[in-house]
Amino acid sequence: MKTFLNFIWIVLSWLCAPVVHSQSQLSKIVVATHIEPPLVYQLVDGSFHGSNVEVARLLAESLSVEVEFVYCPFARCLYQTQTGQADIMIGINRTKQREQFFDYLPQPYSSLITPVKFYLNKNRPAEISRYEDLVNKKIGVLRGAVYFQPFDNDPRLAKVPVVDHEQLIALLRAGRIDTFLARDLSIRQRINQVEYSELLDVAEFSFEKRQDLFIAISKKSPLKDYQVQLASTLSQLKQQGIVEKIMEKYCLQTTVAQQTKLNAGINLGLSKSR
């Protein structure tokens, strides 16, 4: 009888014990990394640098884990993070579609106002002085990227998706597309100055884009259990001015006029580049 009562007591103790949810153990954070100077660039020795890289290192440091940067074209980075092959992407746009696969930290680590230019082949000039001129043009875009509305969802536009900026330049050089759009800093890092001057021209039409640099965590990664800690760390880094110093280091600080627009939440839009 005594043995039976002891058994009942053990069972009841087990059933009534509080449930403890433990975080998954992390040894390192794998960052899916696409090249987008000055947010991310890669030296000849293979090392990664840029504002995204420094923010990723600080977040990993806050969790006392190592960080590994894995290069991939942008669309591949999205896929690897969606499937849990990578834990995180740094400095990407937040969209409803991506929220199916990613958990975002509540605030971007920074926000920029970025002029997006349409590039032309000087040897095959095309007239693009307004948005409507894009109709009936072959337009190179990065696979998986989002740009601006109505461009992203305009069924009238013939878009040619490729994996990286080098392919965009090559297709324009070969006359297989009429134009492509990109940030100027991204293009100048991928082509020497002589060829830039001899090959490329910039269309009169351009777009001024607000770029919120969000941090996206794979829903299939154990890192998702650390969102609260990461969000707190990011908030402290911003409050202490550390993120601002990183942005200044890579010449990504905003002007007073640009910051006024960002603070006011003003919608940016179409503009002239000349």
CATH number at residue 52: 3.40.190.10
Tell whether 40 is covered by a domain.
yes
Query: Cα(first)–Cα(last) distance of the chain, in Å?
Result: 94
**Does residue 137 surpass a pLDDT of 60?**
yes
Cβ(113)–Cβ(262) below 8 Å: yes
**Does residue 143 surpass a pLDDT of 80?**
yes
pTM: 0.80
Same domain, 149 and 206: yes
Average model confidence (pLDDT) across the chain: 87
Cβ(142)–Cβ(74) below 8 Å: yes
190 vs 269, higher pLDDT: 190
pLDDT in tens, 159-181: 999 999 999 999 999 999 999 99
Please tell me the distance from the alpha carbon of residue 145 to that of residue 74, in angstroms, as a whole number. Answer: 7
Out of 133-137, 197-201, 208-212, 258-262, which region has the weakest mean confidence (pLDDT)? 258-262
Tell whether 140 is covered by a domain.
yes
Tell whether 153 is covered by a domain.
yes
Q: Domain of 86?
A: 28-112+212-259
Out of 22-36, 128-142, 204-218, which region has the weakest mean confidence (pLDDT)? 22-36
Our CA angle for 204, 206, 209, nearest 5°, is: 165
Confidence of residue 12 (pLDDT cuts 50, 70, 90): very low
Indicate the number of domains in the chain. Answer: 2
pLDDT in tens, 232-259: 999 999 999 999 999 999 988 765 445 5
Distances (CA, A) of 56 to 31, 105, 240: 8, 13, 17
Distances (CA, A) of 153 to 124, 149, 164: 27, 7, 21
Tell whether 1 is covered by a domain.
no
Token pair of 91 as six digits? 């400095």
Please report the pLDDT score of residue 138 as a whole number. 98
Please report the pLDDT score of residue 113 as a whole number. 86
**% of the chain beyond a pLDDT of 90:** 69
Please tell me the distance from the alpha carbon of residue 225 to that of residue 7, in angstroms, as a whole number. Answer: 36
pLDDT in tens, 58-111: 999 999 999 999 999 999 999 999 999 999 999 999 999 999 999 999 999 999
Same domain, 169 and 144: yes
Same domain, 163 and 218: no
Please report the pLDDT score of residue 263 as a whole number. 60
Confidence of residue 17 (pLDDT cuts 50, 70, 90): very low
Same domain, 127 and 173: yes
